[in-house]
Structure 1
Amino acid sequence: MELGDRALGLLLLLFSSTLFAYYTFWVIITPFVDTDHFVHNYFPAREYAIIIPGLAGAALISFVLVFVGVVMVKSRHAKPKAKTS
C-alpha cells in the first residue's frame, strides 16, 4: 500500500505544480505578450484569474464552516446527560 500512497502523492505534486505554473504564466506573463499572439489562445480572459480562485476560496470556506457546524451539532447530541439522584 505504501507504493500506492507514494504514487498518489507524486501525482498530486505533479498536478499542483502544473496548475501553479499555468496560473502563474497566465497572470504574470500574458499581460506582457501582444494580444494577437497565439499564446492567448491557451488562456481564458484575465477576469477569470480573479473570479475562479475567489469562487474556489468561498467554496472552501463554506465547506469548512459547514463541516465544523455539523461536528458541533453531533457532539452536542452525543454528550451523556448528568444523572440527578
Structure 2
Amino acid sequence: MELADRAIGFLLSLVSLSIFTYYTFWVIILPFVDSDHFIHQYFLPQEFAILIPVFAGVALLSLLCIFVGFVMLKSKKKKT
C-alpha cells in the first residue's frame, strides 16, 4: 500500500508541475512571442488564461460551501 501511495503522490506532483509550467509559459512568456510563431497553436487564446482559473475558483468555493452546509446540517441533526 505504501508503494501505491508514493506512486499516486508522485503522479499528482508531476501533473501539478506540468499544469504550473504550462500555465506559467502561457501567461508570462507567450505574450512576448510573435503571434505567427508555431508555438501559439498549442495554447488557447489569452482570454481563457483568466476565465479558466476564475471558473475553477468559483466551482471550488461552491463545492466547499455545499460541503460545509451538509456538515452543519448533519451536526444539527445529531444534537436533536
Structure 1 length normalisation: TM-score?
0.92
Q: How many residues align?
A: 80
Aligned to 2:12: 12
Q: Give ranges in structure 2 of 5+ residues lacking alignment.
A: none
Matches of 2:19 and 2:34, distance apart in 1: 23
Structure 2 residue 65 is matched with structure 1 residue 65: yes
Aligned to 1:83: none
Q: Give ranges in structure 1 of 5+ residues lacking alignment.
A: 81-85
Q: Which amino acid aligns with 1:39?
A: I
Q: Which amino acid aligns with 2:15?
A: F
- Higher Rg of the two aligned structures: 1
**Over aligned residue pairs, what C-alpha RMSD do you find?**
0.6
Aligned to 2:43: 43
Matches of 1:57 and 1:18, distance apart in 2: 19
Task: Give per-residue Cα distances to partners, 1:2-31, cap 9 Å, x unaligned.
Answer: 000000000000000000000000000110
Aligned to 1:27: 27
Structure 2 length normalisation: TM-score?
0.98
Instruction: Give identity over the alignment, percent.
Output: 60
Q: Which amino acid aligns with 1:23?
A: Y
4+ runs deviating over 3 angstroms: none
Matches of 2:73 and 2:14, distance apart in 1: 38
